[in-house]
Structure 1
């Protein structure tokens, strides 16, 4: 099977966790403290993956300057896009309570939330595809980290969408579409970046890492702290160490 299709398959697998989480969040009444705890765990997993699978790998490939430049660029691009979408109703797209506006409260918020979900998912999937470059296998730790973090993202966001009065069709079409977009982004990560110089690949990897770090800080940790509060730090460290353990096994 062509490697680009393999990349797409891994991206689809990781993105499918959003649908799994959305099913649980929309169809079941899960206590907020449970959602917050799972979100804190997912935050720790992503922080570990960014540290040991993305930034460290980028530094090894291209050195400090491309890595730092890429990470800052990723954080800036994500933050500016997030600010623009927040003004159009997507600020609380990962919140499970009553924070999300309905379409009647803010026209166009549904589209903004959809674009925000796409913004959150694309960098992770590009990294999954890029991890296949160089002839090695996919980074299982990266796929696992994205999958684990996607479950609470879909769960929390779909719960908030239900509370905002959004239909099942909207919710599951959105997350199904994001899962497909994750596959396409992983294919692009492999196909577009193949043959790129080490410094360029390092900068792109670090760019995705910076965007993911900004996303965790802006959208995931606030939701985790909203209900877990004093337990957030401990649960986040548990997620971090779990992903670090998986990374050490792969090494």
Structure 2
């Protein structure tokens, strides 16, 4: 249990670090766009390899597809309940929340199953969380204390998700694990298309596509380590 708590806190800490970095200095729109582009590439890799492919391998494609549909609909519905946010800060925070919970639950399940810490998944979580939190924090119109407080709360919930994943591992079927992977993938896909990629292109300009490819390559390389 301590191992799950420790690794869960480490993975989730990137959310708070990213938010702090976003508030520590003035970021130009161009730089924010490129950071978001890199994060989008890393998240596309996570969806492809660490979530969809891994979920299909563990519990089959049907379970992943069902989880993906539920995750996509959940993000879509929850995003519509948020107040209008022209810069997408709230949408990015929601995406980090909805994909962080199942991602870190899977991390906890893997630790409990004796598989150790999945280096690829851990790296993908960390690498993708930073740009999400940076982009969101720089776009939010609230006091620094409130923004950091929000991200601390999100990180705490994600950490607890790792512990919950560890606790339920004995009763978690392979199909449930695959469904959890699919849920995270679905929420991420809708967030990427609705918020992160448009913001990256709008703010980052013509080079956003190249930086997205770089983020994908880095995250895919890290996934290959697991």
Q: Which structure's residues are more often helix, by fraction?
A: 2
Moved more, 76-85 or 118-127: 118-127
Question: Post-superposition shift, 1:136?
Answer: 0.3
Q: How many residues align?
A: 226
Deviations 1:42-76 (A, max 9, x none): 11111112211111111112222112122122111
Name the counterpart of 2:200. 224
Equivalent residues in 2 for 1:49-198, closer than 5 Å: 49-85=46-82, 88-89=83-84, 92-94=87-89, 118-119=97-98, 121-161=100-140, 164=141, 166-198=142-174
Decide whether the 8 Å contact of 1:21 with 1:155 is kept in 2: yes
Under a length normalisation based on structure 2, what TM-score does the superposition of the two structures give? 0.88
Deviations 1:173-231 (A, max 9, x none): 11122221111112122223432222222122222222222222223212211211321
Shift in alpha-carbon separation, 1:64–1:154, aligned structure 2, 3 A: closer
Give 1:27's match in structure 2, choosing from 21, 24, 35. Answer: 24
Which secondary structure does the structure 2 equivalent of 1:177 belong to?
A: helix
| CA RMSD in angstroms, aligned pairs only | 2.3
Name the counterpart of 2:35. 38
Shift in alpha-carbon separation, 1:200–1:20, aligned structure 2, 3 A: closer
- 1:244 maps onto 2:220 in alignment: yes
Decide whether the 8 Å contact of 1:45 with 1:240 is kept in 2: yes
Shift in alpha-carbon separation, 1:125–1:90, aligned structure 2, 3 A: farther
Question: Post-superposition shift, 1:133?
Answer: 4.5
Decide whether the 8 Å contact of 1:12 with 1:179 is kept in 2: yes
Shift in alpha-carbon separation, 1:203–1:148, aligned structure 2, 3 A: same
Question: Post-superposition shift, 1:123?
Answer: 3.2
CA distance in 1, matches of 2:59, 2:92: 35
Shift in alpha-carbon separation, 1:137–1:13, aligned structure 2, 3 A: same
Question: 5+ residue gaps in structure 1?
Answer: 95-99, 101-111
Which secondary structure does the structure 2 equivalent of 1:9 belong to?
A: helix
Shift in alpha-carbon separation, 1:113–1:141, aligned structure 2, 3 A: closer
Moved more, 122-131 or 69-78: 122-131
Shift in alpha-carbon separation, 1:7–1:218, aligned structure 2, 3 A: farther
Under a length normalisation based on structure 1, what TM-score does the superposition of the two structures give? 0.80
- Decide which structure has the larger Cα Rg and report it: 1
CA distance in 2, matches of 1:223, 1:146: 21
